[in-house]
Structure 1
Amino acid sequence: MKPIIAITADSLVKPSPVINENIAPFAPRQLVEGILAAGGIPIVLPFPEDPAEAAEAAQAVIDTFDGLVIPGGPDIDPTLFGEEPIPQIGRTNYERDAYEIALIKAAALKHKAQLGICRGIQIINVAFGGTLYQDLGTQDPDCQIQHSQKAPGQFPTHHVTTTPGSQINAIIGAKSKVNSRHHQAVRAVATPFKATATAPDGVIEAIELQEGDDILAVQWHPENMWQRDPAALALFQDLVARAGKKA
């Protein structure tokens, strides 16, 4: 039986041309297809509108999937890591934040395989007590390369270097060229994790658990590159393989 991989949904902020709803849940099509190509069965999990229901909603679905993907999306609400929003922060979605944190923690307790993508690495880090740069250009004086690329999303634009012996190193190799569209990033790494890939200017590009292989998260978007980049596809294949062992 193929592993079932859950994807947390984002929501439309404008009316859809198909259905007249401005909060319709969705997942990126290329992400869905990447999971299928890697041998998994994707399902999409919408978040509840009331953040107070996040923990209950997470528990209601936790046994329906084997692996979890936290994909890209809006900025993380900084009050979740003890800060007030600075002027440079973008759109946030507290409802999605609350649900994803509840799901991440519930999945971790059951040792389910998890993959964070872009926003995913950030909310996973925050879920376990880490902090973020709300805006790299404002808060990180060492930020020297373009992390919000102008090139189309499927094009890689900067390199990342991985830590020898790490989980991410085994999947994509010592050095890889990735795409990049973010202005927030991991600042203080949460205690259960270690940083295992960095950009040339030192921005953290991947985190993984210090012990075990349940959770891996990257700052780039492999869902946009897997069709032509074996390293990007390998990230989804690794997730499906980990989920299959946990199933």
Structure 2
Amino acid sequence: MRPIIAIIGDQVHEVSPVINMNNADMAPNEIKRAVTLAGGLPIILPVSEDSPAVTAELADQYVAGFDALILPGGFDVDPTLYGEEPIPECGPTLRPKDLFEVPLIRATISAGKPIFAICRGMQILNVALGGTLYQDITAQDAEATIKHEQSARGDLPTHHVNFTSAATLATIFGPHAYVNSRHHQAIRQIADGLHVTATAPDGVIEGIESDNDDQIIGVQWHPENMYRESEPNYNLFVNLVERAQRFAAQD
């Protein structure tokens, strides 16, 4: 059987004349297609806007229903979750989603199930584990010297990243990769239990992995927009399915 790969939903916020479409849960088609092609069975987890206490209570039950978790891109992370007030350059946030994700991330890690985090997903993962973010790279990171919010079409690469030699990401990509880039926030202080395994030429963190195992892999770019033309980016999804299969085989 295919392993079940849960994708945390985002919400459609455009006003719709059909009330049932307002704030409807969705996940990017290309993530679902990549997971299916790689051998997984994608499902969408709808974001609960119940209280954080309710979400935390239900987190273990959610986690029992899947074999691996994808944290996709989306809104900026609410900076109050890592002890900061928003600066003017901070973009739109969706606090209910943040409060849904944090206990779910922690429960997934406690259960030992694999996680693959993409762009904003890598950022909320870091925050859930106690790390911090740059609310805006240009405003807060004087070392950032390349463009991280590309103007080119989203499936085209625009800057390079470099991998540490011992990383799982390096086994997939080699020492370097050419990636797309659509973010203005980034990891600032890495959380305990994670380590940096990829950086842009200006030092901005582009990849993270869990310490001592391969439970967690995160990338700052969008492999779901590149996997059709890039075998290494497709192999990120293959890797997730393989990790999910290994976990499922332990049950």
Aligned residue runs from structure 1 range 223-234, under 5 A? 223-234=224-235
Q: Which runs of 5+ in 1 are unaligned?
A: none
Is the alpha carbon distance of 1:160 and 1:97 closer, same or farther for their aligned partners in structure 2, counting shifts above 3 Å? same
Q: Which residue of 1 aligns with 2:42?
A: 42
Q: Which residue of 1 aligns with 2:87?
A: 86
Secondary structure of the 1:64 match is: coil
Secondary structure of the 2:209 match is: strand
1:201-223 CA distance string (max 9 Å, x none): 00000111111110111100000
1:123-173 CA distance string (max 9 Å, x none): 110011000000000000011111010011100110000000111111221
> Relative to structure 2, which stretch is displaced further, 55-64 or 218-227?
55-64
Question: How far apart, CA to CA, are the structure 2 residues paired with 1:220 and 1:39?
Answer: 22
| Counterpart contact for 1:136–1:183, Cα < 8 Å | yes
Secondary structure of the 2:69 match is: strand
Q: Which residue of 2 aligns with 1:25?
A: 25
| Counterpart contact for 2:7–2:27, Cα < 8 Å | yes
Is the alpha carbon distance of 1:172 and 1:9 closer, same or farther for their aligned partners in structure 2, counting shifts above 3 Å? same
Question: How far apart, CA to CA, are the structure 1 residues paired with 2:224 and 2:51?
Answer: 28
Aligned length: 247
Question: How far apart, CA to CA, are the structure 1 residues paired with 2:58 and 2:14?
Answer: 25
| Counterpart contact for 1:51–1:94, Cα < 8 Å | no
> Relative to structure 2, which stretch is displaced further, 148-157 or 20-29?
20-29
1:157-201 CA distance string (max 9 Å, x none): 100000001111112211000000000000000011110000010
Question: How far apart, CA to CA, are the structure 1 residues paired with 2:18 and 2:236?
Answer: 32
| Counterpart contact for 1:48–1:57, Cα < 8 Å | no
Secondary structure of the 2:221 match is: coil
Q: Which residue of 2 aligns with 1:243?
A: 244
Q: Which residue of 2 aligns with 1:119?
A: 120
Question: How far apart, CA to CA, are the structure 2 residues paired with 1:108 and 1:56?
Answer: 16
Q: Which residue of 2 aligns with 1:181?
A: 182
Is the alpha carbon distance of 1:19 and 1:177 closer, same or farther for their aligned partners in structure 2, counting shifts above 3 Å? farther
Q: Which runs of 5+ in 2 are unaligned?
A: none
- Give the TM-score of the pair, scaled to structure 2: 0.96
1:10 equivalent to 2:10? Answer yes
Question: How far apart, CA to CA, are the structure 1 residues paired with 2:56 and 2:136?
Answer: 29
Question: How far apart, CA to CA, are the structure 1 residues paired with 2:40 and 2:3?
Answer: 5
Secondary structure of the 2:229 match is: coil
1:43-83 CA distance string (max 9 Å, x none): 00011112422212322211111010000000000011010
Deviation at 1:20, TM superposition (A): 4.8
Q: Which residue of 1 aligns with 2:167?
A: 166
Q: Between the two proteins, what is the percent identity of the paired residues?
A: 50
Give 4+ residue runs of structure 1 displaced > 3 Å after superposition. Answer: 16-20
Question: How far apart, CA to CA, are the structure 1 residues paired with 2:156 and 2:145?
Answer: 20
Question: How far apart, CA to CA, are the structure 2 residues paired with 1:17 and 1:118?
Answer: 31
- Give the TM-score of the pair, scaled to structure 1: 0.97
Residue 5 of structure 1 aligns with an amino acid whose one-letter code is I
Question: How far apart, CA to CA, are the structure 2 residues paired with 1:113 and 1:239?
Answer: 7
1:141 equivalent to 2:142? Answer yes
| Counterpart contact for 1:179–1:220, Cα < 8 Å | yes
